[in-house]
């Protein structure tokens, strides 16, 4: 059994960080393996959504394996960053985090890099790196773009852990559920809702939000070029959706 497990569940790819003895902390090999998995997920047109979670009930991911970092090559990362995801800026298929337990340091950065997240009520969140003489690196950039500045500063300067309910109040996650198993169940429900939608419409929606936020102004976002949006407009599915509505039936998506 490997340290990163994958399984297909229909059109959903489920990824499990399986290192419970180190609270699902990631070493360099895990980062590169996850990069390969997300590369393949992006290429595979039969896969629509990915879910990432952790093994066991105690931890989703607590960041880097600090012992492994002390070894030669222990701080190496793929070009797509922590977990092969956090510096991946052109993935327009949705990724959902099923936070089964503690989500700390790089683990929280992974959640920030996901599009949706659901957490068990027992999960704790935080960027405690300053308490060991470090900082949250890329997590700081994502956090400061997703939260008001004072909320982000409160999390990273005090460097304390907080509960799932507070993470929901911050809007770092979408839902809180009772148990780790419920987190995966809820993530699967989210994935099922996404899969009911037209594939190209989902890609175009995520592309437009992601790329639009990178533009300097709202005016620039409106006038920017969005290839997935153009593909969607020219697709058979764009016609199918209207026909299905007119004929009062469920649409049959082809993804083209």
Percent of the chain clearing pLDDT 90 (strictly above): 91
Structure tokens at 184: 């995966």
Q: pLDDT tens, 88-101?
A: 999 999 999 999 99
Q: What is the pLDDT of residues 1-37, one digit of tens each?
A: 479 999 999 999 999 999 999 999 999 999 999 999 9
Confidence of residue 135 (pLDDT cuts 50, 70, 90): very high
The model's pLDDT over 167-186, given as tens digits with 9 standing for 90+, comes to 999 999 999 999 999 999 99
CA dihedral 33→113→164→48, nearest 10 degrees, is -70
pLDDT of residue 22: 96
**Domain extents in the chain:** 4-195, 199-246
Please give the torsion angle defined by the CA atoms of residues 168, 173, 178 and 182, in that order, rounded to the nearest 10 degrees: 170
- The predicted pLDDT at position 1 comes to 46
Query: Residue 57: which residues within 8 A CB-CB, separation 6 or more?
Result: 100, 101, 120, 122, 179, 180
Which pLDDT band, with edges at 50, 70 and 90, does 66 fall under? confident
141 class by beta-carbon count within 10 Å (0-12 exposed, 13-18 middle, 19+ buried):
middle
Give the β-pairing of 59-61 and 95-99. unpaired
Q: What is the tens place of the pLDDT at every residue in 98-119?
A: 999 999 999 999 999 999 999 9
129 is catalytic: yes
Find the mean pLDDT for residues 153-163: 97
Residue 224: band (very low, low, confident or very high) from pLDDT cuts 50, 70, 90:
very high
* Mean pLDDT estimate for the chain: 95
Catalytic residue, candidates 129, 207, 230, 247: 129
Active site residue 57: no
Q: Is pLDDT above 70 for 74?
A: no
Q: What is the pLDDT of residues 138-150, one digit of tens each?
A: 999 999 999 999 9
The pLDDT score that the predictor gives to residue 109 is 98
H helices present in the chain, as ranges: 28-43, 66-69, 106-113, 138-146, 149-158, 164-170, 180-195, 199-214, 218-223, 227-233, 236-246
Alpha-helical (H) ranges within 102-198 are: 106-113, 138-146, 149-158, 164-170, 180-195
Question: CATH says 4-195 is which class?
Answer: alpha beta
User: What is the mean predicted confidence (pLDDT) over 192-214?
Assistant: 97
Whether residue 73 has pLDDT greater than 70:
no
Q: What is the pLDDT, as a whole number, of residue 54?
A: 98
Catalytic residue among 14, 71, 87, 109: 109
């Amino acid at each position: 059994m490997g340290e990163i497990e994958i399984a297909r569940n229909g059109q959903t790819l489920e990824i499990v960080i399986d290192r419970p003895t180190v609270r699902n902390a990631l070493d360099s090999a895990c980062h590169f393996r996850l990069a390969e998995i997300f590369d393949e997920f992006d290429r595979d047109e039969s896969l629509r959504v990915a879910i990432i979670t952790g093994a066991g009930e105690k931890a989703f991911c607590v960041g880097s394996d600090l012992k492994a970092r002390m070894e030669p090559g222990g701080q190496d990362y793929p070009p797509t960053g922590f977990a092969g995801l956090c510096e991946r800026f052109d993935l327009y298929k949705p990724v959902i985090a099923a936070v089964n337990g503690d989500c700390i340091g790089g683990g929280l950065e992974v959640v920030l890099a996901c599009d949706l997240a659901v957490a068990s009520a027992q999960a704790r969140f935080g960027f405690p790196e300053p308490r060991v003489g470090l900082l949250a690196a890329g997590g700081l950039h994502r956090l400061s773009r997703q939260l008001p500045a004072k909320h982000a500063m409160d999390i990273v300067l005090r460097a304390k852990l907080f509960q799932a309910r507070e993470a929901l109040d911050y809007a770092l996650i979408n839902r809180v559920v009772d148990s780790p198993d419920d987190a995966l169940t809820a993530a699967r429900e989210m994935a099922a809702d996404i899969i009911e939608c037209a594939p190209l419409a989902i890609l175009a929606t995520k592309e437009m939000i992601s790329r639009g936020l990178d533009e300097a102004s709202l005016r620039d976002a409106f006038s920017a070029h969005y290839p997935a949006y153009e593909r969607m407009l020219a697709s058979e599915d764009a016609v199918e959706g209207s026909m299905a509505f007119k004929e009062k039936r469920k649409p049959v998506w082809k993804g083209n």
